[in-house]
Amino acid sequence: MTLFDDFFSLIFPNICACCGNNLWKHEQVICTYCDFHLPRTNFHLERDNPVTRTFWGRAQIESGAAFYYFNKGNRTQMLIHQLKYKGRKDIGVFLGEKYGVYLKHSLFFNTTEMILPVPLHKKKRMQRGYNQSEEFASGLGKSMNLPVDPYVLCRSKATETQTRKSRFRRWQNVSEIFAVRDPSVIQGKHVLLVDDVITTGATMESCIQVISSIPGTRISIAAIGFTLH
């Protein structure tokens, strides 16, 4: 073990990000028990699923999926909380690498050509130190062997937290706040737009609208968690 490994283990002890129990040597980030009990959706196996239905009549997408169901107090929420607020960037990369294996072999995602994370406003990124969706995208890119471009999309203004807002208020909060910096990068391509959690779909919808304005661009979406309504 290197000095860096020792230092890293002091900051992030080798414990499960879900339950807090010690990890065995063969385990990474999540213990075997929690990994088995995380509520997988298997949405990548079917085009018509709750994620794609969320966007019916709202935005045009090729395919949509999420790795886990996200509910208050469940294991997925614990992971997302650690990822977003506790500096656990490794969770995003780890989950991206795991989910990317499934998406790479899915008939609905194997034609995607590049990955775009939903951007944070620069002020929030500076406060947090990173973008959790970028970390997830990075992991996906590794296992799907796809380029990740975190700069194509930009967020033009900071918004209030979405946590306690209604569906309409969420849409109002993020409407028309995204832009595409260089349309030529994604023109004619099938892009995979990714975020940490899809709740009402308002943030994704806003991103999809600006991406779909670029000629020939097709959009699929993926997230770590999805909230059933």
Residue 222's closest CA among 98, 123, 82? 98
Q: Which residue has the tokens 């900071």?
A: 158
Terminal alpha carbon distance of the chain? 46
- Chain centroid to Cα 62, Å, comes to 17
pTM: 0.87
Buried b (16+ CB within 10 A) or exposed e, 202-224: bbbbbbbbbbeebeebbbbbbbb
Q: pLDDT 10s digit of each residue in the chain, 229 long?
A: 455 554 555 555 689 999 999 999 899 999 999 999 999 999 999 999 999 999 999 999 999 999 999 999 999 999 999 999 999 999 999 999 999 999 999 999 999 999 999 999 888 889 999 999 999 999 999 999 999 999 999 987 655 454 554 454 544 555 578 999 999 999 999 999 999 999 999 999 999 999 999 999 999 999 999 998 7
Nearest-CA neighbor of 112 among 54, 56, 182, 62? 62
Secondary-structure breakdown of the chain: helix, strand, coil percentages, each rounded to the nearest 5: 40, 15, 45
User: How far is the C-alpha of 69 from the C-alpha of 37, rounded, in Å?
Assistant: 11
pLDDT (0 to 100) of residue 1: 45
Distance CA 98, CA 131 (A): 19
Residue 156, pLDDT score: 76
Residue with tokens 């008939």: 107
pLDDT for res 229: 75
Q: How far apart are CA 154 and CA 118, in angstroms?
A: 8
Q: Are 83 and 135 in contact (CB under 8 A)?
A: yes
Beta strand 178-180 pairing with 153-155: antiparallel
User: φ, ψ for residue 3 (rounded to 5)?
Assistant: -60, -40
What structural domains and CATH numbers belong to the chain?
Answer: 1-37 (no CATH), 40-226 (3.40.50.2020)
Beta bridge partners, 40, equal: 68
Predicted local distance difference test score (pLDDT) of residue 171:
45
pLDDT given at position 141:
98
Distance CA 19, CA 126 (A): 29
pLDDT value at position 162?
46
pLDDT of residue 161: 52
Half-sphere exposure of 113 (CA within 13 A, CB side): 10
Q: What is the DSSP letter of 212?
A: T
Strands 153-155 and 190-198: unpaired
